[in-house]
Structure formats: C-alpha cells, structure tokens
Chains A and B, each alone.
Chain A
Amino acid sequence: MNYDRYLNAAIAAVPPSGIRRFFDMASTMKGTISLGVGEPDFITPYHIRNAAINSLLAGETQYTANRGMLELREEIARYMQDRFGLSYDPKTDIVVTVGASEAIDTALRAITGPGDEVLVPEPSYVSYSPSVIFAGGTPVPIVTTRETEFRLTPEALRAAITPRTKALILPYPNNPTGAIMEREDLEKIAEVVREKEILVLSDEIYGELTYGGRKHVSFGTMPGMAPYTITLNCFSKSFAMTGWRVGFACGPAPLMEVINKIHQYAILCAPRQGQAAALEALRAGRENGYEDVTKMREAYDRRRRLMLAGFRDMGLDCFEPLGAFYVFPSIQKTGLSSEEFCQRLLREKQVACVPGNAFAPCGEGHIRCSYATGVDKLNTALERIAAFIQSL
C-alpha cells in the first residue's frame, strides 16, 4: 500500500538525520572507538539515582503538575539565578519538559505559524530545522564559519532577517563546533534583536560546560533582552542525566502559558522520577557548590586539551573549542569529503566520528569528535586517526 497520500508531505519530505546513516554503519563494527557520542560518559551521580529510587519506593507514581513539581520549579528558578543571573517566577515562567528536545519543539510550536521564518545558525544540533518545519514554519540557516570561530555575527544575523522573521535560535555553547558566545558577542546580537524585535530561543544545555576561564553568559541577562528570550536548558549534559529526559523552558509568562498549553495536551508532564532526580541534582548542587558539575567539567577540560593538541599535532586546522564536549577539526587538507573521511576512518581504523555535513551543509570539511570518553580511549583514537591521515 502506498501511504504517500496519507502522510503529511511537508514532514515526510524532511530527510532523516545524517547521523542515523552513520549510526547504522558504526554499530555493526567490532572494536570501534566511538567519538560520535553526544552524551556524557559519566553516569548520573549516585545520590541523584538514589533520589529517584526513593521516590519510587515512596509510591510517587502519579502525574505531577503540568508545569512540573513546584518544588522543582522553585529549585530551577534558584539555579538559573545563582548560576546564570536569570530571574524567573517558578509559578508562571518555567515549564519542566521531557528533555530540552521537547522544550525546543513546544517553544517553536508556540510561536511559529505558516510563513514564519526562524533563523538557525549552522552548523548546529540536528533537530532545530526539522522542528521548525514540524511547527509549520520555515527554517532560515545562518552560516557561521571557522573565521569567526563559528560565532554568530551581528552582520550575518542582520542579513538573514526579513519581515517574516519570528525568532532566532541561539545554540551556544554549540554542538557540534564547541563554539561559545562571549558577552561582547551577545551585546551586538542584542542590539539587532532590540531593533528588529524578534524572539530568541537560547539553547543553553551546555551552559555549565565552558572552559579557558570563560563563564557562560546567558542571553537573557543582556540588558532589555529578558522579554524577548526563552531560555532552554536541561539536566542531561550538566548532571549526566541524558536518559532521564528532563529539561525545562523559561521565559516571559504569556509565552510560557502557551508553551504549557501544548505541553499539557501533548505530554501532560515530564516523568515523575526524572523530576525527583532533577530536584536532588539541584538541591545537592546548591548545598555543595555544584561539585558533581565541577568534577565533570574539569575532566572534560583535560580531555579537551588532549584532543585539541592531538589534532593540531596531526597538522589539522582545529580552532580551540571553549564549550560543550566536542572538537571540530577541519579535514579539508586531506582532500576527502567529511563523509568519505568518516567512512574510511571507521572501516580502516575503527574510529567513529560524525561528518560535519550531518549538522548542515556548511559543516562540510569538518568532523565532530566528542571527548565524552575515557582518556585511554581518546589516546588510542588519536593514534589511529594520525595513522589514518598518514596513510592517505
């Protein structure tokens, strides 16, 4: 039976993630070291796991409030204030979601209608553009380049804005490039936003993971920007809680009201034990100065230096990533496309990386290597990649 006439043509036309193709290849190979994993290699700290177990044992198996448990929202409000200087009212400005993924989806659906354009700096996380299309809007890519360290420039932003522009997705610290936006960069973006009056969806899930003495600056803290900004965050990367699926969106109450409406009808509430675990993560973090986060960040930082030096020693051009847990070296000098490079590297040396073009056409010429993996494996992977490049 041909289902084409049943399917939503616009959605069916969205290509599957480029990562998926690679996943199918990589998962069949034995002895592979994967630098393709976009999640921490740490497991959720014990006390956080235990909080979820205790919640289950206490019989907390019911729905929570749509927006999430109030005590969790209160803790999130404190966290956003303490860590990033953002002020949100737990009653009206915060919705706990099923990971930041749901937050992206519901936020886009809340603001996007047919004909609306949403700006997506690229290369970036694979789900933004498809989510804009699913929401009925049109994604408009903004190319960022190696020359500006993959930061979004006000010139590029200005050039992409049209009368139909509804919002900008601000994906920093960035997956896959590891780029960050510093205060001066954001000030210039804020000027454009103020002038053009567009919304900003600031995806800050890697906000705890910045290096080189750079503290993450939240876009919502730029003067006058809070009313224009929806901040998205989650527990996955900062607290090694990917599988728990707990994230949150924060922003102006009238926007959150509509986001919550979608969330309420489509999802009802984020999983309760995930919320119990998230609550423990934040409470303990506040009491012990976020020692889990600090420990993980220090470990990532050591690996980041190792990877950066490793790729530079191979003679590859690699800008210094200052956020997230990825390096994004250029493989242009090998003469291979990113797809060829990754396929051959996988077949010939059993190292899995993700081709840069999986994150946008402008990611071509680069590969994404995650350093969320143990030092011994990273060292072996670097040796294998160096041998591969020499063999070319």
Chain B
Amino acid sequence: MTALESQVLEIMREDCRLPIEKIAVMTGASLVDVAAAVRTLEENKVILRYAPIVNWDKTDRERVEAMIEVRVTPQHEMGFDAVARRIYAFDEVRSVYLMSGSYDLLVLVQARTLKELAFFVSEKLSTLDTVTGTSTSFVLKRYKEDGVVFEEDHGDGRLVITP
C-alpha cells in the first residue's frame, strides 16, 4: 500500500462521505491521484463496502443479537475454512471469526426475535455435522462499535474560547 493510500484510508475510516476534493486538500495530493488511490483500495478489496454504523436501539425495528462461541471439528485439508464458509452463508450471520482459545469460531448473529435466533442455533447451526458444541450469549446493550461510542456525547469538555 502506498503512503497516499494509507492516508486516504485513515481519513475515510473516520468519514467515508468526505468529498474527494477535500481528501485531496487534506493529503496535499492531486485529485487524480486520490481518485486513483480510492479505486486501487476498492479494486484490491481493501475497502469492501461503505456502510453506516447504526444505533438500532434508536430505530423501531425489533432486533436480537447474539455472539455464539462454536466448537468445530476441522476438516481434512480444509481446516476451519470450509465450516466457516458454511456458517457465514446463513443470512442471520453478521460476522464470523476464527479464534484462539477454548473455542474455534465466534459467530455474530442477528435476528428479529428471540425465537428466530433460537431456531437458528438449534436447527441450522448445531445441526451442522462438524459443529461439536455452541455457547450463545445475547447482546444486552451496545456501548461502542467500530470506535464509535453509542452513549450520548458528554460534549467537548473544553471551554469555548481559550488562549
């Protein structure tokens, strides 16, 4: 990754809606170069998608989330990848991570209701023949996600004008 790509990434990680003209000014690079850098980041799948961070508690949508610790039997010559692929193919699954420690995969799941989620675990996930055990924990409250704090801002903490 070039120094410019790295700078562009740093800026867009904070606010991906910032116009390219502004990013050019901020990095001191030309518009053409910044546009090329963004394109490269996209083409190389460094940037995968531009999506908002949503506080669902402020919407009227019903939503249940859980983190499921999954123990699996790795498959011959495929390791954990094959089973991970089968798990992430479910629509309910938001994220899947291979973990070190006492379990193998961490699966973040969301559903509309508790019932739906229970159904997912008992009927879809646990029944996979490579899955040897699961432990489900429900998310009760989200405080911070991707560096963004969900609680009300306590303000700047600085005086309005200081010398």
**A contacts, CB < 8 Å to B:** 17, 19, 22-23, 26-27, 32, 34, 36-39, 41, 43, 125-127, 175, 298, 302-303, 305-306, 309, 352, 354, 375-376, 379
The answer on a CB contact under 8 Å between A375 and B163 is no
How far in angstroms is the closest Cβ of chain B from A5? 31
Chain A residues, Cβ within 8 Å of B26: 302-303, 305-306, 375
Main secondary structure of the interface of A (DSSP, over half): mixed
Give Cα A315–Cα B21 distance, bound, in whole angstroms: 18
Where chain B touches its partner, the secondary structure class is loop
CB distance from B41 to the nearest CB of A (A): 17
Which of B11, B156, B159 has the most chain A CB atoms inside 10 A of its CB?
B159
Pair B161/A23 contact, Cβ less than 8 Å = yes
Instruction: Kindly list chain A residues whose C-beta atoms are within 8 Å of the C-beta of B22.
Output: 306, 375, 379
Tell me the chain B residues, 1-46 only, with Cβ under 8 Å from chain A: 7, 10-11, 14-15, 18, 22, 25-28
Q: How far is the CA of A166 from the CA of B22 in the complex (A)?
A: 48
Q: Are B163 and A19 in contact (CB under 8 A)?
A: yes
Number of A-B contacts (CB under 8 A): 64
Within 8 Å by CB of A27, from B7, B160, B163, lies B160
B positions within 8 Å CB-CB of A: 7, 10-11, 14-15, 18, 22, 25-28, 156-163
Docked complex Cα distance between A26 and B10 (Å): 33
Partner pick for B160 among A127, A306, A352, CB 8 A cutoff: A352
Q: Which residue of A lies closest to B25 (CB)?
A: A309
B161 touches A305 (CB 8 A): no
13 additional contacts, CB 8 Å, given A375-B18, A375-B26?
Answer: A17-B163, A19-B161, A22-B161, A23-B162, A27-B161, A36-B162, A38-B162, A39-B158, A39-B162, A41-B156, A303-B26, A305-B26, A375-B11
**Do A26 and B160 form a contact, CB below 8 Å, given A302-B27, A306-B22?**
yes
How many Å lie between the Cα of A26 and that of B160 in the bound state? 7
Query: Nearest 7 pairs between A and B by C-beta?
Result: A36-B161, A302-B26, A23-B161, A309-B25, A26-B160, A38-B162, A126-B163
Determine if A26 and B161 form an interchain contact, defined as CB atoms under 8 angstroms apart.
yes
State A172–B39 Cα separation when bound (angstroms).
41
Contact call B162/A37, Cβ cutoff below 8 A? yes
B161–A354 CB distance below 8 A: yes
Q: In this complex, which of B14, B22, B157 has the most chain A Cβ atoms within 10 angstroms of its Cβ?
A: B22
Chain A residues contacting B159 (CB-CB under 8 Å) are 23, 27, 37
24 A-B pairs with C-beta separation under 8 A: A22-B161, A23-B160, A23-B162, A26-B160, A27-B160, A27-B161, A32-B160, A34-B160, A34-B161, A36-B162, A37-B160, A43-B157, A127-B163, A302-B7, A302-B11, A302-B26, A305-B26, A305-B27, A305-B28, A309-B25, A352-B160, A375-B15, A375-B18, A379-B18
